[in-house]
Amino acid sequence: METAKISQLYDLGETIAAELFAGLTYPWEALPKISDFIKKLGPTLDPEVYEQRGENIWVAKSATVAPTAFLNGPLIIDEDAEIRHCAFVRGNAIVGKGSVVGNSTELKNVVIFNSVQVPHYNYVGDSILGYKSHMGAGSITSNVKSDKTLVVVKDHDEKIETGLKKFGAMLGDYVEVGCNSVLNPGTVIGSHTNVYPLSSVRGVVPANSIYKNRSEVVEKR
């Protein structure tokens, strides 16, 4: 499943968590490793650039964190990131440089690459969002199947058993998700792809595409 590989989805030069993906083939393999990675990386961060704000929480001094935001560790917020009013960071989260976590947005067990925007009423759980990806207002990642079975990534007739009960979405670099869309468990969206508003997305969506619905996925021109 070439489309879903880390090498096809992400520029690892655009995250402080590049070493998290070392030796892995698919990005969801990193999900169970996020917490321990933060605990290992955090104490090595330059204290001139980052300050520790509680147990296993490191925040860049150039980042902006609203006083009404809730931060729970393990957590790293990188330089020039913006955590806005009433954001809820539950933990096991890495927020990249210049990224925006907005009003009433909730994060849990995620890697947010640099310059990502989740600015309005988003839920992002057990997911990885690539460089300059953007989730429109109200769009969410659904991270647990309704029958509570393990998530399987599907690309037509090809399937990969992930062994994970909780798995939201893998968004490649420059992905645009329209407002009020739902990314179902095990969704993988290739880089430079646009998803229409009010979409229900599942499976693997090719790079450089426009996703209208499951039967209408067209190549960008």
What CATH number does the domain containing 18 carry? 2.160.10.10
Using the predicted structure, report yes or no on whether residue 144 has a pLDDT greater than 90: yes
Residue 45's CB is within 10 A of a number of other CB atoms, namely 17
Would you say residue 96 has pLDDT above 90?
Answer: yes
At 174 the pLDDT is: 98
Q: Which residue has the tokens 């590989």?
A: 5
The pLDDT of residue 221 is above 90: no
| Per-residue pLDDT tens digits for 100-135 | 999 999 999 999 999 999 999 999 999 999 999 999
Peptide bond between residue 119 and the one before it cis (omega within 30 degrees of 0): no
Please write the tens of the pLDDT for every residue from 189-198: 999 999 999 9
Please check whether residue 207 is in contact with residue 3, taking contact to mean a CB–CB distance below 8 angstroms: yes
State the DSSP H helix or E strand holding residue 7, giving kind and residue range, or none if neither: helix 6-9
Residue 79 has pLDDT above 90, yes or no: yes
Count of domains in the chain? Answer: 1
**pLDDT value for 119:** 97
% of the chain at pLDDT higher than 90: 95
How sure is the predictor about 140, in pLDDT bands with cuts at 50, 70 and 90?
very high
Q: How far apart are the first and last CA of the chain?
A: 24
CA-to-CA distance for 34 and 18, rounded, in angstroms?
A: 11
DSSP bridge partners of 213: 216
Enclosing domain of residue 124: 2-219
